[in-house]
Structure 1
Amino acid sequence: MVGNLAVGGTGKSPLTEYLIRLLKKDTRIATLSRGYGRTTKGFRRVDTSSSAREVGDEPLQFKRKFPDIQVYVCENRCYGIEQIKASCDVILLDDAFQHRKLKPGFSVLLFDFQSLMNPILMLPTGNFRDELSSAKRADCIVITKCPTEISDFQRQQIERKLRKYSNAPLFYSTIAYDMAQDLTGHESQLNLNGTDVLLLSGIANPKPLSDYLTAQGCRIELLSFPDHHQYEEKDYKQILSRFEQMKGKDKIILTTEKDIQRIDTTLFKEMPLFYIPIRIQFLDQKQEEFDLLIKNYISSRMR
């Protein structure tokens, strides 16, 4: 299970995709998510032809990137597991740490780096939906969205908070950005340096992507919507209007891979619309250690 204690934006989807890549060659994998933002209810299988409104953006992204795996949504994870457990070896549960009726075999708990630099405050004052003491239920902890250089003081600050409750293996990771892709899913050869970018975001925290693009030499104009936002006609009119008002000659619309699942791309066939996939990257040369931890657990359960 991949989960977190805070609300949104900790990088669960990139880690789930990492686990899919790690395990799909040797196991029959299924992912099971709530399908946040969907308009349907109950247990549902995700197909590549599904819509984000039907199944949610993240499950649809998993299925389109990895069409050979099984992808399902169900708000009742226990019921969902019963429906699919006979057809797979491994079930990856996306965002189920608060699903207390569920007893996963192995839990990977994520914390956004910046959230641990600040005081831990519960909703509605802060953004944590569970007490830090819940970390004791984790089999492994991954700190996500770290800067590539973490000071000893920052590490000590993080570990002082977490080691009160958990001695689980602890890993640090950062977000890596892949090449921008066009609407056909092919890598573009965009030179971002000097480009005017309308950054279209319907994710919890667009700042890391905005900072990355600025570092690449882009001039950013951010058009931000709520996390999992379902784009409507009025939104498309606003996007087009903002883009037309931009004065640069080399201008594009850029969005996230999660957003592209929710956007009606047929409206942008004549527009320079691109998206940037992201992936998780482990720091301190700990990728092999993390991989071995996961593989050893899977191996022990499949004997």
Structure 2
Amino acid sequence: MHSPRLLLYPFALLYGLAVIFRNLLFDIGLLRSKSYPLWVISVGNLSVGGTGKSPHIEYLIRLFGRLSQRQGNLNFTPSKTAVLSRGYGRSTKGFRIVTAQSTAEEAGDEPVQIKRKFGSVHVAVDEKRTRGIAKLLEADKDINLFLLDDAMQHRYVKPAINILLTNYHKPFYNDHLLPAGTLREPGSGYKRADIIVVTRTPANLPDVEKKMTIKKIAPLINQSIFFSGYIYDNPLPVYATISSIPKIVKTTSVVLLTGIANSNDFRKHLESKSKEVFHFNFADHHRFSMVDIMKVTDTFKNIGNPDKIIITTEKDSTRLQQPALVEQLGSLPVFYIPVRISMHDEQGFEEQLLRLLNAYQLYTPLQNKP
């Protein structure tokens, strides 16, 4: 029996009724969703974190970068891309342009990560997506592709395409509403999606398992389902003081520092590559303190194995740039491992995305920028 969860069900019921009422107001038009003569693609989920929204945003940036070099795929070329996020974990409020010099405290860890990787892409944060879009267009009227990070529940914007992510290991249909579970809204919210991506899927998942997952999701006739997984790249230094790139092998001791929603896959990946993993796990967007870091460094120094390393995620590395933390960690081998998305049916995903975008043009005249 999960008695603590049972005690939370009445609160989940009240929360669910409030969310259902809010969605109803949008559905019947009492609350208005704004459409744009642009490509606006929302990437979100029904749960609180853990589905890999930022890596999928990065996947789309790379995909549209490739598409912009081709001819004949689209009647409309994505000449300038902008990413708009709420900026979870930041200490600021309102609209803010993210630059390569922005800190995680100012703009949030994920927007900073994206800007540092894709310098030519506009990145901004704003709790109000409609205001954020307007401000970005004021800054650059030639933007014609917006990628909205974590905007499934932000219904004041009506996107051209709604991409819903759900974790293979904890799909929305097996979850419960907050606070009894992690769902932000009832599972029926999946019906608003155009594309559903089942994330964190094992690379060798049998087709029969995929079919079972699709059956449980029960997609509508207009919905497409795809599966994605992670590719872990080679370690990169968090600080410029490190010049050599190590290899993690079966003799390596790893001190792992994470502050993300779901670190299980990352930890298991390192466990499969190394001798041992000492894991310091914190909540998503956690602001690392000196006490946190001293525990990490003490553990590292007490490991007798000379083949040892400190590993964190790329997202967490943006929150390790405070001067006091740099002073504590800067002389140690601290690395992050970038993560990329592997779409199991990449061609099918691309083709469906193009179909939806070309169909959207039939109904909404787009700004055709050179």
- TM, length-normalised to structure 2: 0.77
After superposing the two structures, state which structure 1 stretch, 52-61 or 267-276, moved more.
267-276
Instruction: Give per-residue Cα distances to partners, 1:160-193, cap 9 Å, x unaligned.
Output: 2322556411101111101111134988242432
Name the amino acid aligned to 2:64: L
Q: Counterparts of 2:46 and 2:220 in 1: how far apart (Å)? A: 14
After superposing the two structures, state which structure 1 stretch, 87-96 or 214-223, moved more.
214-223
Give the 5 Å matches for 1:197-236. 197-236=254-293
Q: Counterparts of 2:57 and 2:267 in 1: how far apart (Å)? A: 23
Aligned partner (choices 17, 24, 44) of residue 3 of structure 1: 44
RMSD: 2.0
After superposing the two structures, state which structure 1 stretch, 30-39 or 185-194, moved more.
185-194
Aligned partner (choices 85, 106, 117) of residue 161 of structure 2: 106
Counterpart secondary structure, 2:60: helix
Q: Counterparts of 2:280 and 2:175 in 1: how far apart (Å)? A: 29
After superposing the two structures, state which structure 1 stretch, 246-255 or 196-205, moved more.
246-255
Counterpart secondary structure, 2:309: strand
Matched, 1:52 2:104: yes
Q: Counterparts of 1:166 and 1:97 in 2: how far apart (Å)? A: 20
Name the amino acid aligned to 2:332: M
Q: Percent identity?
A: 38
Query: Unpaired segments of 5 or more residues in structure 1?
Result: none
Matched, 1:247 2:247: no
Rg larger in 1 or in 2? Answer: 2
Aligned partner (choices 332, 337, 342) of residue 276 of structure 1: 337
Name the amino acid aligned to 2:316: D
Matched, 1:289 2:289: no
Contact 2:46 2:172 survives alignment (8 Å) = no
Matched, 1:96 2:179: no
Instruction: Give per-residue Cα distances to partners, 1:92-146, cap 9 Å, x unaligned.
Output: 0000100122211111110000112972311111111111211111111110001
Contact 2:173 2:187 survives alignment (8 Å) = no
Aligned partner (choices 289, 295, 303) of residue 238 of structure 1: 295
Aligned partner (choices 52, 59, 65) of residue 18 of structure 1: 59
Aligned partner (choices 323, 326, 339) of residue 266 of structure 1: 326
Change (3 A) 1:189 1:236: closer
Contact 2:166 2:172 survives alignment (8 Å) = no
- Equivalent residue, structure 2, for 1:131: 186
- Using the TM superposition, give the Cα deviation of residue 153 of structure 1 relative to its aligned residue in structure 2, in angstroms: 4.7
Contact 1:117 1:158 survives alignment (8 Å) = no
Query: Unpaired segments of 5 or more residues in structure 2?
Result: 1-41, 69-78
- Equivalent residue, structure 2, for 1:122: 177
In the alignment of these two chains, the number of paired residues is: 301
Contact 1:38 1:56 survives alignment (8 Å) = yes
Name the amino acid aligned to 2:340: R
- TM, length-normalised to structure 1: 0.93
Instruction: Give per-residue Cα distances to partners, 1:43-90, cap 9 Å, x unaligned.
Output: 000001010000000000000001111000000111111112334110
